[in-house]
Amino acid sequence: KVSLVHGAHRTGRRTDAAMARWRAYGLGQFIHWGLYSIPGGEWDGKTYNGAAEWIRSWDGITKSAYDSLIYHFNPVKFDATAWAAAAQQMGAKYVTITTKHHDGFCLWPSKYTSYTVASSPYKKDLIKPLVDAYNKAGIDVILYFSIMDWSNPDWRYDIKTKDDSIAFERFKKFTRNQLLELLERYPTTKGLWFDGTWDNAWVKQAAFADELETEMRKMRPGLIIGSRFRADENGKRHFDTNGQLMGDYEQGWERKIPNTITEVHGNDWDCVMTVPENQWGYNAAWKGHIKTTDELLEMLAKCVSLDGNFVLNFGPKGDGSIRKEELSLAREIGDWMAVNQEAIYGCEYAGLEPQNWGYFTKKTGTDKIYMLVFNVPVSGALRVKLPVQTSISKAYRLGQPAQTFVPEEIQASESFIHLKTTSEKHPFVIVLETAKKTENPKVKYEKAK
Ligand SMILES: C[C@@H]1N[C@@H](C(=O)NCc2ccccc2)[C@H](O)[C@@H]1O
């Protein structure tokens, strides 16, 4: 272990109520919305092959042409209540919304730059109606904020000269001002999801970022900040020089999911996921592999089974409407959650040996185990290996408690649940009520005679 001033300030998981609430979410919604949503991955009849929200960095578009999009941003179809209703029906317990992406366009009327919605035909703050509508729907809000800001002349990829460092000092002040402004303006928000923090210039700001994180946490007790915000004084990100997680949860699972519990290192984490292979902002094309509802449900189940939250991305159009494909995914996920949410919300890693038929989750604080079945074996027999001295007292189909199962015990703490049919077309859940096998005190007494 080396001594660090700006490494992790806490080892192990946070144990406070605010973090326990975050840990229980299970399913979240990500929203990427901004000027990039207007072109939607196309410009002058040409198609940009990267992620649509990065189109400003493409050589097929001039920076000034992109920046002029601000004069065309007028989302007349924007309806925060409708967005929140779709998220609520889907079963999302929190939403992460872009306040400012890498292009620097602010969806709130920031005092510290003119590159905001206030300078667009729309004029009005977009973040407040979203925060209010989602909170009203019982959904918590986390604010996405990109440190990297291509619109700000003081931003630097690296600091090479005296001028760079003078400019970047201004940029640091600007960044702090905007973050404190967001916390002031939206006091009900629960956390900040930082992005665009990989550049050398920011990675060199260990002391500044550490102090800023402390200041924000003081300003908003319970505030949740992930591992992507700051680096330690050796430039180490996500995990400091001693391998300790920075921030409150691991934020490295972008478009990927861990396969084993060991990869999670006992930390909280979220997985942020796109529906297409790699499109966060609205992309007109909707091409390549588009994940199906069952694929997304399996990702959700896998994340919760490994102690993580699954945050599914939506990319509203420039006019403020949500594309029909995303609305139908939200509805289908919601239909499944309406029956099976008990196996997702407030659940965690069950501590059982993974089986090929799907995923185990356990209701936090109980011995209730859920079998989330995605791959029905041709045998129809689902193997379950419980901790020693644990037995199954009840087994039934979630949502259909009359559909019970009598486990076939094949050896100590190992059973088969035999399905009545192997022709299920969609994922389903079996609940196992388990109990610790206790020695029968009477027998012990007789032995004592
Ligand atoms: C959440 C996503 N993060 C942004 C991004 O630039 N990802 C690329 C990236 C992914 C992982 C490490 C560094 C950079 C994408 O534009 C989305 O906002």
Segment 384-400, tens digit of pLDDT: 999 988 999 999 999 99
Residue 436 pLDDT: 87
- Rounded mean pLDDT of 291-297? 98
Tell me if 195 CB under 6 Å of ligand 1: yes
- Per DSSP, the residues of 337-363 read HHHHGGGTTTEE------BTTEEEEEE
- Rounded mean pLDDT of 235-244? 98
Nearest to 32 by CA among 196, 257, 173, 186: 196
- Rounded mean pLDDT of 362-376? 97
Burial bucket for residue 446 (CB in 10 Å: 0-12, 13-18, 19+): exposed
Residue 242 pLDDT: 98
Residue 227: both structure tokens together = 């591992």
Contacts of 25 (CB under 8 A, 6+ apart): 93, 94, 140, 309, 345
Assign 449 a pLDDT band (cuts: 50, 70, 90). Answer: very low
Q: Whose CA is nearest to atom 15 of ligand 1?
A: 280
Which ligand 1 atom minimizes the distance to the CA of 195? 3
Please tell me the distance between residue 447's alpha carbon and the centre of ligand 1 in angstroms.
65
* Torsion sign (Cα): 56, 87, 226, 213: positive
Q: Which of 280, 283, 310 should be mutated for ligand 1, with most atoms under 8 A from CB?
A: 280
State the chain's mean pLDDT as an integer.
96
Radius of gyration over alpha carbons of the chain, in Å?
A: 24
Q: pLDDT digit string (tens) for 300-348?
A: 999 999 999 999 999 999 999 999 999 999 999 999 999 999 999 999 9
Residues 410/362, Cβ–Cβ less than 8 Å: no
Q: pLDDT digit string (tens) for 89-139?
A: 999 999 999 999 999 999 999 999 999 999 999 999 999 999 999 999 999
Alpha-carbon distance 98 to 126, whole Å? 11
Alpha-carbon distance 101 to 107, whole Å? 9
Alpha-carbon distance 425 to 74, whole Å? 43
Contacts of 342 (CB under 8 A, 6+ apart): 363, 370, 398, 429, 431
Residue 141 pLDDT: 99
**H helix runs in 99-205, sequence order:** 127-136, 162-185, 200-203
User: What's the gap between Cα 124 and its chain centre?
Assistant: 27
> What percent of the chain lies above the pLDDT cut of 70?
98
Residues 111/356, Cβ–Cβ less than 8 Å: no
ipTM: 0.95
Please tell me the distance between residue 197's alpha carbon and the centre of ligand 1 in angstroms.
10
Residue 112: both structure tokens together = 């510290």
What pTM value is reported for the model?
A: 0.96
Residues 90/137, Cβ–Cβ less than 8 Å: no
Residues 212/231, Cβ–Cβ less than 8 Å: no
Assign 438 a pLDDT band (cuts: 50, 70, 90). Answer: confident
Please tell me the distance between residue 117's alpha carbon and the centre of ligand 1 in angstroms.
23
